Amino acid sequence: MVTVREETRKGPWTEQEDLQLVCTVRLFGERRWDFIAKVSGLNRTGKSCRLRWVNYLHPGLKRGRMSPHEERLILELHARWGNRWSRIARRLPGRTDNEIKNYWRTHMRKKAQERKSNMSPSSSSSSLTYQSCHPETPSMILGVDEQEHHGGSGCITSIMKGAPADMDGYPMDQIWMEIEAPNVLAGPCFDEGKEDAYNSVSGPLLPTPMWDYCCPETCLTMDDEIKVASKYGYGKGVGPCY
């Protein structure tokens, strides 16, 4: 058929799309992704929008290499929890499950190759091998959850010393504070303890550049917002008050 119906876009996001998404999320908050997908004018699914936001555009995200501390934490938490990426990600502020998953895959691929090449167990040269954090050596991986389930001593709480007791989840308040004050580096307040030295050493937290570009004229105006929101039946108690 020749009907030129616009299909849902897939594939890599363009800068313009990012911009549109950021503006829309800024207006309506991080929820109702189908709605956001609609009103943003993006020809994307809500799912795709959410993913892009969570993995790339979220202002609290860290970018760049994993710090040694993060690497170690991933290894240890994975030894403990397996492929529970989102759970692991919650222990690594600013990192996404996708990022950790990707990291693990490439990292483990390397490790597997290394292992193949030198089968002798004692010849592991790296300072931290997968073995070193196997369940046999639970060491410091027990967190709050484990204290509940296993009555462990919760060494991770010592790692996370200085952090809020419950690190699960990224407080919306903070996100919106960051939005309000884009110059304020995002994230560190999660683990402002000494281990956070890595965060500052391993590379600064780079606030998503999109926020710099999100200028009012490219966004919906408040009037538009209200119109659109009422059209779709949203807008009450959704997102921040601007």
Partner DNA sequence: AACCTTAGCAACCGCAAACGG
Partner DNA sequence: CCCGTTTGCGGTTGCTAAGGT
Residue ranges that bind DNA, judged by CB under 7 A: 9-13, 31-35, 44-48, 50-52, 55-56, 65, 83-87, 97-99, 101-103, 105-107, 109-110, 113
How far does CA 124 lie from the centroid of its chain? 31
Q: Can you read off the two tokens belonging to residue 136?
A: 């046999």
Nearer to DNA, 130 or 192 (CB): 130
Among candidate residues 179, 208, 207, 233, the one with its CA nearest the CA of residue 27? 179
Nearer to DNA, 34 or 180 (CB): 34
Nearer to DNA, 65 or 194 (CB): 65
Q: Can you read off the two tokens belonging to residue 160?
A: 């996370």
Q: How far is the CB of 122 from DNA (least distance, A)?
A: 23
Q: How far is the CB of 129 from DNA (least distance, A)?
A: 16
Q: How far is the CB of 80 from DNA (least distance, A)?
A: 13
Q: How far is the CB of 194 from DNA (least distance, A)?
A: 26
Nearer to DNA, 152 or 170 (CB): 170
62 Cβ neighbours under 8 A, 6+ residues apart: 93, 94, 95, 187, 199, 203, 205, 206
Q: How far is the CB of 55 from DNA (least distance, A)?
A: 6
Q: Report, in this order, helix, strand and coil percent for the chain, each rounded to 5.
A: 55, 0, 45
237 burial via Cβ count (<10 Å: 0-12, 13-18, 19+)? exposed
Nearer to DNA, 88 or 156 (CB): 88
Which amino acid is residue 53, in one-letter code?
W
